[in-house]
Amino acid sequence: MSVFARLAWFFRAQWRRYLTAIALLLVVALLQLLPPRLVGSLIDRTLAEPGSLPSQWPWLAALAGIGLLIYLLRIGWRLQLYGAAYYLACQLRQRLFAQFLRLPLSRLGEDGTGDLMARATNDVQAVEQTAGDGVLTLVDGLLMGTLVLVVLFQQYPAWLVLLALAPLPLMAWLLSRFGRRLHGRFGQAQAAFGQLNNQCQEALTGIRVVKSYAVEPLTERQFARHNRQAVDANLAVAQIEARFEPVIYLCIGGAYLLAIGGGGVMVAQGSLTVGQLTSFSLYLGQLIWPMFALAWLLNIIQKGSAAYGRIESLLALPPALSAEAKPLPLPVGRRLQLVIRRHGPADAPWLQDINATLQPGQMLGLVGRSGAGKSTLLRLLLRFEDPSDGQLTLDAVPVSRLDEAQWRDQLAYVPQEPFLFSTSIADNLALGKPSASQAELEAAARLACIHDEILAFPDGYATLVGERGITLSGGQKQRLCLARALLRQAPILVLDDALSAVDTQTEQAILGQLRQACADRLLVVTSHRLCAVQGADEILVLEQGRIRARGRHSELLASLPWYHQLWEYQSLQADLGLVEETAL
C-alpha cells in the first residue's frame, strides 16, 4: 500500500473527485444488497402461491429500477474516479518532460532516449491505473465485501457463513505471495521495454549509416535480441499474473460447494427455505468481486509501485544548474570574461587554467585536436553546466547569479551536429523568434548563404524537412541552423564547428558576412579549419584541456610551428579543391 502513501499529494489535491466517487460507490454497494433479498422473496412467494405471478410484477419493476439506478451511478463514479486518474497521468508526463529539460546532458545520454520515453509512457500508465483501478478495487472491494459479510452474518447462521468463507485465508496467502514476486518482475519488464525503445530509436535515427554499411541483418539481429528480452520479461510477468484468476475461481468454487452443501442440509431440515438459500448464493456471488478485487489490487499495487519508483528516481535527480533564489538583473554592458581554474574530476580535469575576455564586436576562436576541450568550454559558456572551480562573468557579474532563461536569451548557438525538427523550413528558422516576418527569415537565410537553395525547393520556405532534416544535405542543415541562430539576433553568437560540412569558399563568404552582421556582438567560433578563425581577435589553441598558445592568427603562424604547418597543409588542400580538411 506504500504507493498510495507516496501518491498522497495527488489525493489531497483531488479530494473532491475521490470523495464524490467513494460516496457514489457506497450508494451502489448498498443498492446491490437489495436484489438478492428481493429475488429470494419472489422465489418463496412463487413456491408458496404458484398462481400469484401477476402480483409479483411490482417487485420485478423494482428490480429493474434498481438496476437502472445502479447503471447511472456507475457512470457518475467512473467519470469522477478515472477523470482524476487521467489528470494524474497528465501531471506526471508534464513533470517528467520538464525534468528532461532540466537534467544534465550527460545524464540524458546515460539513460537513453528509449528508456526515458518508457518512463513517460508505460510507467505513467501503470501509475494512472493505480490511481484509478487501484482506488476502485481498494474502496469498492472493501465496501462491497464488508456490507455483504454484515448482511450474511445478520440473516444466516454464523457456522454456514464461516463454512462458505473457509477457502478465503488460503486465497489471501497465495495472492500475497504472487504479488511480492510480481513487483520485481514488472520492474525488469519495464527496463527491458526501455532498452527495446533505445534500440529502435537508434536504428531509425542512424538509418543512413545502417544502410550505407549494409548492416541491416546485424541491426535486425540486435533488435530481435532486445525484442526477445522484452518478450521474456513480459512473459515472466504474465506467468505470475496468470496464477491470480485460477486461485480466485478455485476458492470461489470451493466456497459455493461448501455453501450449497451446508445450505442444502438446512433446507432438508426445514430450517432454511429455497428462496433463502438462493439469496445466500447470490450474496456469496457478490463476494466474487471483492475477492477478485483483492487479487487485482495486489497486481496493480505491485506494478504501480515499481513504475512510480522509476518515475520518482528520475524526478529526484538534481537539475544541471541550481536555481538562483534572487537572480541579479542583467547587466547593461557586454564584457564577457571566463576564468576556469579547474573543471571536471579532481584526478583528471577536463579543463584547467583557462581564461578569456571578450568585448562586443570581437571574435574569439577556439582550435585544438579532438578531445582538447573545445566543446566542454562551450558548454560552460552556454551554461549547460557550471565550472567546478571558476566562473563566467558578464560585466563582473557572475552569470550563475543571473536568471538561467534570461542568460540563454543572450545567446544564439549553432551546434556541431545540426538538428532540425520535422516541420517546415520556416518553422525551423523561427524557432528562437516565432514572431519573425518572412522578410526577416529571408534576411537570415541570405546571411547563411542558403536563401537561393530554399527557393529552389518546390515549396520554398514551406518545404517540410523530414525528421531531423533527413531530406537535406549536411551543409544545408548546418546553414539552416546558422540562419536560425542569426534570426534571433542575440548579443552572443556561438558556432561549434558549425560549417564543417560546407566547402571552404562558402564558409569564407559566410564568415565575412558574419563579421559585418556581428559588428556589435560577441562571436565565439570553434573549428578544425584554421581559415574559419583567421579573422578572430584572439585564438586559443587548446591541448588536453589547457591553453597551449594564444594570440592572433598572424602571431600564431610566427610563434607556433605546428600551427604554421597545419595552416599550409589546409591551404594546399583548399587550393586543390578538396572539401575535406585534415582534423586537428
Whether residue 59 lies inside any domain: the answer is: yes
The answer to whether 307 and 123 are in contact (CB under 8 A) is yes
Same domain? 424 vs 545: no
In 3D space, the residue among 268, 34, 36, 271 whose CA is nearest the CA of residue 159 turns out to be 271
The answer to whether 411 and 382 are in contact (CB under 8 A) is yes
Same domain? 112 vs 174: yes
Contacts of 433 (CB under 8 A, 6+ apart): 440, 487, 488, 489
Alpha-carbon dihedral 538, 344, 482, 206, rounded to 10 degrees: 140
Q: At 350, is the secondary structure helix, strand, or coil?
A: coil
**In this structure, what CATH number is given to the domain that contains residue 385?**
3.40.50.300
Amino acid at 534: Q
β-strands 351-358, 336-343 pairing: antiparallel
Same domain? 385 vs 430: no
How deeply is 11 buried, as exposed, middle or buried, from its count of CB atoms within 10 A (0-12, 13-18, 19+)? middle
Q: Dump the DSSP string for 173-189.
A: HHHHHHHHHHHHHHHHH
Same domain? 145 vs 178: yes
Residue with cell 520538464: 98
Whether residue 465 lies inside any domain: the answer is: yes
Whether residue 256 lies inside any domain: the answer is: yes
Same domain? 257 vs 193: yes
Whether residue 324 lies inside any domain: the answer is: no
Same domain? 159 vs 35: yes
Whether residue 322 lies inside any domain: the answer is: no
Same domain? 287 vs 397: no
Same domain? 293 vs 400: no
> How many whole angstroms separate alpha carbon 2 and alpha carbon 142?
18
Grid cell at residue 197: 525503445
Q: Dump the DSSP string for 37-53.
A: HHHHHHHHHHHH-TT-G
Which H or E run includes 522? strand 522-526
> How many whole angstroms separate alpha carbon 32 and alpha carbon 166?
24
The answer to whether 244 and 168 are in contact (CB under 8 A) is no
pTM of the model: 0.68
Domain encompassing residue 17? 2-315
> How many whole angstroms separate alpha carbon 335 and alpha carbon 359?
5
Whether residue 320 lies inside any domain: the answer is: no
What's the structural domain count of the chain? 3
The answer to whether 449 and 510 are in contact (CB under 8 A) is yes
Whether residue 62 lies inside any domain: the answer is: yes
Amino acid at 567: W
**In this structure, what CATH number is given to the domain that contains residue 166?**
1.20.1560.10
> How many whole angstroms separate alpha carbon 535 and alpha carbon 514?
11
Chain CA centroid to CA 103, Å: 12
497 DSSP 8-state letter: S
494 DSSP 8-state letter: E
Whether residue 530 lies inside any domain: the answer is: yes
- Which of 430, 450, 484 terminates a domain? The answer is 484
Q: At 253, is the secondary structure helix, strand, or coil?
A: helix
Write the secondary structure of 274-294 as one string of H (helix), E (strand) and C (coil). HHHHHHHHHHHHHCHHHHHHH
Same domain? 135 vs 219: yes
Percent composition of the chain: helix, strand, coil (DSSP 3-state, to 5) = 65, 10, 25
> How many whole angstroms separate alpha carbon 510 and alpha carbon 495?
12
> How many whole angstroms separate alpha carbon 476 and alpha carbon 386?
33
Residue with cell 576562436: 365
- Which of 465, 484, 503 terminates a domain? The answer is 484
Predicted confidence pLDDT, tens digits, the chain (584 residues): 678 888 888 888 888 998 998 899 888 888 887 877 777 777 767 766 665 555 667 777 888 888 898 889 888 888 998 888 899 999 999 998 888 877 777 666 666 677 788 788 888 988 998 888 888 888 888 888 888 888 888 888 888 888 887 887 777 777 667 766 776 777 778 778 777 877 777 777 677 667 766 777 888 888 888 888 888 888 888 877 777 778 777 877 787 788 788 878 887 877 777 777 777 778 777 777 777 777 678 778 888 888 888 888 888 887 766 666 677 888 877 788 888 888 888 788 888 888 888 888 888 999 888 888 888 888 888 888 888 888 888 888 888 888 888 888 888 888 888 888 888 889 989 888 888 899 999 998 888 888 988 998 888 899 888 776 777 888 888 888 888 988 888 888 888 888 777 777 777 788 888 877 777 888 898 888 888 888 888 999 988 888 888 999 899 888 888 888 888 887 777 666 544 444 44
Same domain? 111 vs 199: yes
Grid cell at residue 260: 450449497
Beta bridge partners of 542: 368, 547
Same domain? 378 vs 258: no
Residue with cell 562571436: 523
Contacts of 250 (CB under 8 A, 6+ apart): 167
Same domain? 249 vs 364: no
CB atoms within 10 A of CB 523: 24
In 3D space, the residue among 381, 334, 382 whose CA is nearest the CA of residue 361 turns out to be 334
- Which of 291, 315, 339 terminates a domain? The answer is 315
> How many whole angstroms separate alpha carbon 102 and alpha carbon 108?
10
